[in-house]
Homo-oligomer: A and B are copies of this chain.
Amino acid sequence: MKYPCGIVKQNKNVIYANRGMGLEEDINITNKYYRDYNIAIVYKKPTPIIVNKVDYKSRNDAVITEAHYRIPSTTDYNGVYKGKYIDFEAKETKNSKSFSLNNIHKHQIEHLKQITKQGGIGFIIVRFTTINETYLLTYDKLETFLNNNERKTIPLSYFKEHGYLIKDKFNPRVDYISIINLILEGLV
């Protein structure tokens, strides 16, 4: 549904867009939009789970009765855009001034390093929920920060300077591909 400019804010869906839905949900909806319009094929990976016990009630109905969450060895999202491999992790923080790297597992950062080395496009998406700003930071810039700072907390100013603000939109909600596109074309 398309509304003329003035009416947009009266649409319930718009009012709640990016409010409380959470970054993960917003990215999932964005990825669906990309898939529906053949822009990119990106999925969130399933949460890694170690299954301990399974009850085979019937041939088609196996019930897992004991399992544990496993620390992921890779990032949450990957896929393809114009033949290129893209890979990223997305996190929210309530802190309005900085993002603590404790939010991302060490081997996830190592994974982003490996895929960047292999010519893939690796990045993180961080949303500062308090100020409602979402940034894309490429792995290269993340590495630069890590190599030059003892602290494991990236100030918002670093995102402003070396990252890219992903502007709030109705659809797609978190349009990170538009930024990847600019990076690939060398325009930013």
Contact = CB atoms under 8 A, between A and B. Distances in A.
Nearest to A78: B78
A24 to B, nearest CB: 15
A119 B46 contact: no
B65 A65 contact: yes
A49 B64 contact: yes
A64 B68 contact: yes
Nearest to A39: B118
Given A41-B120, A79-B85, A118-B81, A49 B74 contact: no
Contact of A82 (B69, B79, B118): B118
A114 interface: yes
Contacts of A49: 46-47, 49, 51, 64, 67
A84 B47 CA distance: 25
Given A80-B85, A115-B80, A46 B43 contact: no
A5 to B, nearest CB: 33
Contacts of A81: 118
B80 A69 contact: no
B35 A73 contact: no
A20 interface: no
Contacts of A74: 43
20 contacts: A41-B114, A41-B118, A45-B45, A46-B46, A46-B70, A46-B72, A47-B51, A49-B64, A51-B67, A62-B68, A62-B69, A64-B68, A79-B85, A79-B115, A80-B85, A80-B115, A81-B118, A82-B118, A83-B84, A85-B85
Interface of A: 35, 38, 40-41, 43, 45-49, 51, 62-70, 72-74, 78-87, 111, 114-115, 117-120
